[in-house]
Amino acid sequence: MRRILSLAIMLPLLILAPATATAAAQSSEESRQSAARMTAVAQCPPTFSRGDNAEMIVALQRALNDYSYEVKGPDLFVDGAYGPKTEAAVINFQSWYGLQVDGITGPETWGQLGFCTW
């Protein structure tokens, strides 16, 4: 009787073990991919939008000025303030390069400007 009871308990465990191992492997792979994506984002400057003020925005404004001849936009005053003119220049840049046009300088825009290391 004990042997039958032991088999009754062990059989479902033996059947479920491969599925559990597969799920754990998939979960591990998903975690690795997620970490890789986070690392890629972490290697870009922070995301900025209208109203932000930062030293890195000075670099953004200078880069946008370097591209202004190509995207046919006016030069920006370089002051580190993400105001309406910086936002408009970002929108113009994003549109010119086929990026998501939202006026926000995130990883995609920083990447196109050459500030990200992937």
What is the arithmetic mean of pLDDT over 106-110?
Answer: 97
Model pTM above 0.75: no
User: Which range marks the domain in which residue 74 is found?
Assistant: 52-113
What are the tens digits of pLDDT across the range 24-47? Answer: 556 666 655 555 555 544 599 999
Q: Is residue 69 part of a domain?
A: yes
What are the tens digits of pLDDT across the range 3-23? Answer: 554 545 555 555 555 555 555
Q: Is residue 26 part of a domain?
A: no
Q: Is residue 56 part of a domain?
A: yes
Q: Is residue 92 part of a domain?
A: yes
Q: What is 19-75 written as a DSSP string?
A: HHHHHHHHHHHHHHHHHHHHHHHHTSPPPB-TT-B-HHHHHHHHHHHHHHHHHT-PP
The enclosing domain of 94 has a CATH number of 1.10.101.10
The count of domains in the chain is 1
Q: Is residue 37 part of a domain?
A: no
Q: Is residue 99 part of a domain?
A: yes
Burial class, 105, CB count within 10 angstroms (exposed 0-12 / middle 13-18 / buried 19+):
buried
Q: Is residue 40 part of a domain?
A: no
